[in-house]
Chain A
Amino acid sequence: MSSAVHRLLQKQIERATRDDGHIDLDLLTRLVSDAYAESDIERRRTDRSIALMVEELDQFNARLMQVVARRTDELEQLHRRLEATLQNVDQGIVMIDPDGRIAVFNEKFVEMTGLPRAVFEGNPAFQDVVQLMLEAGEFDAMGDSFKGWVVERAARPGPVSFQRIRPNGVVLQVQALPMPDGGEVRTLSDVTAHVRKSNELRATRDMLEMTLNNVTQGIMKVDAGGRVLFFNRRVVELLGFPEGLMQEGVTISELIRWQYESGEFEGYPPEIVEQARNGDPGPDLDTYTRRRPNGTIIQFNTIRLQDGSFVRTFTDVTEARAREEAIARVNEEYRSLFENSTVGIFRSTLDGKQLRANPALVRLNGYDSESEMLAAVNDIAGEWYVDPRRREEFTEIMEREGRTTDFVSEVYRHRTRERIWVSEASWLVRDHDGMPAYYEGMVIDATERMRTEAEIAHLALHDMLTRLPNRSLLLNTLSAALEDNRRGHEIAVLCLDLDHFKDVNDTMGHDCGDILLRMASRRLMRALPKRGMAARFGGDEFALIMPDVRDRESVMLLARQVVQTLSKPYRIRGSRVYVGVSIGIAIAPGDGLDAHDLLKKADIALYRAKRDGRGTYACFDEGMTAAILARREIEVELRRAIAHSEFELHYQPIMDLESGRPSAFEALIRWQHPQKGLLMPAHFIEIAEESGLILQIGELVLRQACEMMARLPSDVSVSVNLSPIQFRNHQLAVSVVNALAASGLSPHRLVLEITESVLMADDYRTVDILRQLRMLGVRIALDDFGVGHSSLSYLQKFPFNKIKIDKSFVQNNEDGTMNTAIRRAILSLGQDIGIDVIVEGVETETQRDMLIYEGCRYVQGYLFGRPRPESEILAEFGPARSPARTINRVA
């Protein structure tokens, strides 16, 4: 300062120094004075500045004091709040100062150490507290290694976080944070509930994960950026992803591109394939379905979440789809059946309200549409059934059996009230609880059927040809009449048989026979008394019932009238035809009380009448012989035997003495009677002939014989006996042809044997038939030659192939000479006219030798073999070879 003042004074002197070197003292004085003044100003300015600064400082200090006071208040308040907070928080809090001593703590902390409150008085070392806790067993639940660690950590502060379990099971989360000035703050939180919760959550998550991995659906979650957040195994399986492709973080686009490259979208529309190539997920559809290349159909469902992520599920709906389609197909089939069925189908409520009706049922009820019908039908019971009780019966059956089948009722065609018959097949449909819910069923129009059934019922009880009741109806009526006959009136039963009706049939044909039968029926009806009944039993057999017989004479009168009226000539196709009638009569109760019995007795009486001479009637009486009954019985049995094939053929060889081998076998009929054993023809042929059954028996014999012979060598033939009755039948030749054709037997291997009696009828037709047969190639033999009166004359009538000499010409020794002569004559005759002669009844070697001597070639008799069953013959003689089973056609 002094140098500055000195320099100033120097400058002032310089300034005051005039050019002549003298100092202008006035100027100098003024300069010095000014300098002092300037210094004063400067000083004053400085003083003022300092004063103002002090003033400002004071103001500032005052403001500062206010701020400090306010801040102090705030801090105290804050401290109180912090203290309150500290004591009221759920956490234990302890602050440890840089020296390791506890500076601040709250009650919760004390509680969580398990130590008494007093331990914490006087800022104890934290390390000591931990040691006390250790000694008190606070860490016992944590194991020894934890104990060592926690004590060691207590001495060395630093950030740490751990969980420990208190002896009482409470789980504490302990967190230590270092303070900026050293020391640390520890917080202890009771996380028992949290740990339990997180354990539960983990368990739940594990369960969810397990569930997710075991559900049949694929599930994945994708974030808003298209990245997969999680997924289950099923996704990989369903979409066929390779190992490692599907993982968290993979994008949907990457998956789609892989699918594109693996051909997932082959055959899809080009725009979709293009999208897939670019990894474009396409439009955000919430649900869609597509078929994978392996044929599975996957349904994709997307649930969008608010944060832009979404959860997608994948469901294999292949089976479900197939099932749906099948159900739809079935439904369609059922619908088609329902719609197109010609059977009416319905569903109705239990109380009779119609719920559904198919077109067929709608039509049946006369309506055009289902709705129209449903609107109209309200009460099936009251409106439909002609007899309302049918509804009750219907519901009763339903309740009892749950279904009806062929429940036939007469109903009204609903709209027109026309009566029709219907058949219902219905069933009860139950609900889930098993309670009856409604009825379903089918309805068909049974009107036509009912008419047909009535007809059939009528037919079953009537003869179609004559419209008369048949045997059944007559029997029923008779039984009913007998049952009702409480007054004890007599009831007459008349059996009728037209005499010579077979001749009409045979000569004029069946159609004429039928006309005759109808005409006779009408005459019979006219003769019928009141309350009487006429019936036709078949063929020319008729029967009458005459109830309320007052006296026997009236029955006889009726019989006579019937004989008389039926015996009048019939005009058939321009011819007058005569038939008679025989009548057998039985009268209840005298002759019996059983309808069958009465009929049988009337039949016996008829038999008697016929035997007595036709064109008359006879009443049953007990005196009718047992023989008649037996014959009648045999006839009945014969019919059964035919039906049951009780006949069999035995075969007797006809020897060729030249070859010493059978040249033929004669077929002989036997009846294997179930009770009587084997019966010879003598027991039944006569009856068979009388009854006409010989025709059927004859056919049987022909057929069997031909079939048998076809199985024997072709150089052997068979002889079959024909009855004269068979020749009355125009069908004989046809029967022969049929037998040959069926067996394949060559005609020349069949020999038909007839007796002279056939020719005795002197019927030109018989010879015609024989000629037809010969023309077929069949050979004809004349049996029993020699026993008749004019045997030779028959040889002229027909060119027989063979003659059989009756056994009497061999065996009768009493008149030996005569027989021998005749025999030799016949043998000679045969040689002369070229006819084989067969001698029957050869029983001894003497006889044989004689015959050989006489030039006889063919012989038959016990010496060469008794008649034996087919099986034995086959066993001995055949089959050597199978004959060609050619069918011989007859031109």
Chain B
Amino acid sequence: MYAREFNWSLSTGIRFATEREVRAPSLVLVFGTREILAHPEFIPALQRAFPGTPLAGCSTAGQFDRMRIEDDRVCGLAVWFESARVRLATSEITGGGNSLAAGQAIGAALAGSDLRAVMVLADGIRINGTRLVEGLSAALGPDILVAGGLAGDGQNFGETSIIADGPPRSGLVAAVGLYGAALDVSSGSAGGWDVFGPRRTITRAVDNILYDLDGMSALDLYERYLGEEEVQNLPASALCFPLRIEDPQRPGTDVVRTVLGIDRDRRAMIFAGDMPMRWTAQLMRGSFDRIVEGSAQAARNACSGPGSQEGFALLVSCIGRRLLMGQRAIDEVTAAAEEIARRHALVGFYSYGEISPHSASRTLQLHNQTMTVFSVRERQPIG
């Protein structure tokens, strides 16, 4: 197999960085801002360039390749498998309520004897990522590697879109099933955030809406930490202070939750995943160096190191990380890229949530504030 990166912009069209194969690729992935994906020229251009090829992608809060983070151009990837097969499945999200069912439906649609991995891209606003992951786990079991992320909408948190063999649409879950005994798939996920301050307890929350920590308003706590200046930038400014939550009864289940929105009237904060009652919550803060090191660690976990094999890697990083690091966000991309084999094609995007197994427990989870790396290789047939 092999994979090649490409860009698309209205002015340049599809432009591969290196020469491309003539035959149609097995799969094409595309990532861009909601506005550029929605440009009427974009999808027809792809369909013309890759006729009959399954097409998947989503809107982002920035997309990148090995070298740079793009806000204007679309970053894409075309994959040619030797023997592995690809199947695209979608499921509609009508609201947060049926996320579990959507996960189960996707899992059921893709399940097959030689299914090795599922790459998931889901609406980042309307979805309850936690439920979706539960549905996927329930349908696919622990042996199928699932990775991916939630679509983004810059710093707007307004509307996200998903591409699945057609124009981008909101309220959709798209998943690519990868089949074939020759496939090697792996994933890594790491944050690099440091916890600080006292360990607090979630004392009032409903699903992904948090009200109180230790009996005090969570929004008050955030406003104190952000200061008057940044309070104005809520909710985006809150991304710099994610929460690490953990079931005190089951150590090792810790996940990072990032803020998606706030409701000042109800003094509530909306997170990118469930905030279970009685779990502990601890504020986190990032320093540039630790964040960069986290990305590198995630890449190391996904790939066994620089190698000569062809393959591709999909990197999903959190919008929070980009907001925190500003221009230096590129440092985490390059740090991760340096850990991934040179002959691997690489594409990534900033998301509203990362999906991958927990690095320690290998339980499929929805993450926030992490760099998640999904790596795919196909072993060459002998002879």
Contacts and interface: CB of A to CB of B under 8 A. Distances in A.
Interface string A35-76: 100100110111011001100100010000000000000000
Contacts of A45: 230, 240, 285
Contact of A52 (B224, B325, B327, B331): B224
A8 to B, nearest CB: 6
A48 B288 contact: no
Contact of A12 (B198, B240, B327): B327
A8 B225 contact: no
A56 B198 contact: yes
Contacts, number: 48
Contacts of A8: 327-328, 331
Contacts of B328: 4, 8, 35, 38
Given A7-B331, A60-B198, A52 B326 contact: no
A31 interface: yes
Contacts of B196: 49, 53
B193 to A, nearest CB: 12
Contact of A35 (B197, B225, B230, B327): B327
B251 interface: no
A14 B334 CA distance: 15
A56 B289 CA distance: 25
A117 to B, nearest CB: 53
Interface residues of A, number: 21
A48 B228 CA distance: 11
Interface string A845-886: 000000000000000000000000000000000000000000
B285 A34 contact: no
Given A56-B197, A56-B198, A38 B285 contact: no
B227 interface: yes
B101 interface: no
Contacts of A44: 227, 229
A489 interface: no
A778 B225 CA distance: 178
Interface in A1-28: 4, 7-8, 11-12, 14
A34 B327 contact: yes
Contacts of A56: 197-198
Contacts of A11: 68, 327, 330
Contacts of A7: 331, 334
A344 B292 CA distance: 132
A56 to B, nearest CB: 6
B330 to A, nearest CB: 6
A31 B225 contact: no
Contacts of A12: 327
A49 B225 contact: yes
A48 B225 contact: yes
A79 to B, nearest CB: 32
A38 B198 contact: no
Contacts of A31: 327
Contacts of B227: 44, 48
A830 to B, nearest CB: 168
Nearest to B225: A52
A34 B329 CA distance: 13
Interface residues of B, number: 22
> Interface centre among B227, B327, B331, B334, by most A CB within 10 Å?
B327
B326 A35 contact: yes
A698 B334 CA distance: 183
Interface in B306-335: 324-328, 330-331, 334
Contacts of B288: 4, 42
A38 B287 CA distance: 13
Contacts of A38: 325-328
A125 B317 CA distance: 69
Nearest to A15: B68
Interface string B212-233: 0000000000001101011000
Please classify the interface of chain B as helix (H, G, I), strand (E, B), loop, or mixed, using the class held by over half of its residues.
helix
B141 to A, nearest CB: 42
B257 to A, nearest CB: 18
B211 to A, nearest CB: 21
A52 B227 CA distance: 10
Nearest to B327: A35
Contacts of B224: 52
A654 B345 CA distance: 190
A31 B326 CA distance: 11
Contact of B197 (A4, A42, A53): A53
B281 to A, nearest CB: 15
A35 B68 CA distance: 16
A791 to B, nearest CB: 170
Nearest to A38: B326
Contacts of B225: 48-49, 52
A44 B324 CA distance: 12
A45 B327 CA distance: 17
B365 to A, nearest CB: 27
A647 B263 CA distance: 169
Nearest to B334: A7
B238 to A, nearest CB: 12
Nearest to A1: B289
Contacts of A35: 326-328
A22 B325 CA distance: 27
A587 B330 CA distance: 192
A45 B240 CA distance: 9
A11 B224 CA distance: 35
A49 B285 contact: yes
A34 B287 CA distance: 18
Nearest to B292: A4
A52 B221 CA distance: 11
A399 to B, nearest CB: 103
A49 B197 CA distance: 9
B254 to A, nearest CB: 20
Nearest to B330: A11
A38 B327 CA distance: 8
Nearest to B331: A4
A56 B282 CA distance: 13
Contact of B326 (A14, A34, A48): A34
B346 to A, nearest CB: 17
Nearest to A39: B326
A335 B299 CA distance: 117
Contacts of B289: 4
A14 B240 CA distance: 27
B223 to A, nearest CB: 12
Interface in A776-805: none
A45 B323 CA distance: 13
B75 to A, nearest CB: 16
B236 to A, nearest CB: 12
A453 B227 CA distance: 149
Interface in A491-531: none
A42 B327 CA distance: 12
Nearest to B69: A11
Nearest to B221: A52
Contacts of B326: 34-35, 38, 41-42
B296 to A, nearest CB: 13
Contacts of B198: 56, 60
A45 B231 CA distance: 12
Interface of A: 4, 7-8, 11-12, 14, 31, 34-35, 38, 41-42, 44-46, 48-49, 52-53, 56, 60
The 9 closest A-B CB pairs, nearest first, are: A38-B326, A35-B327, A49-B285, A48-B227, A11-B330, A52-B225, A56-B197, A8-B328, A53-B196
29 contacts: A4-B288, A4-B328, A4-B331, A7-B331, A11-B68, A11-B327, A12-B327, A31-B327, A34-B326, A34-B327, A35-B326, A35-B328, A38-B327, A38-B328, A41-B326, A42-B288, A42-B326, A44-B227, A45-B230, A45-B240, A46-B285, A48-B225, A48-B227, A49-B196, A49-B225, A52-B197, A53-B196, A56-B197, A56-B198
Given A38-B328, A42-B288, A46-B287, 15 more contacts: A7-B334, A11-B68, A12-B327, A35-B326, A35-B328, A38-B325, A42-B324, A45-B230, A45-B285, A48-B227, A52-B224, A52-B225, A53-B196, A53-B197, A56-B198
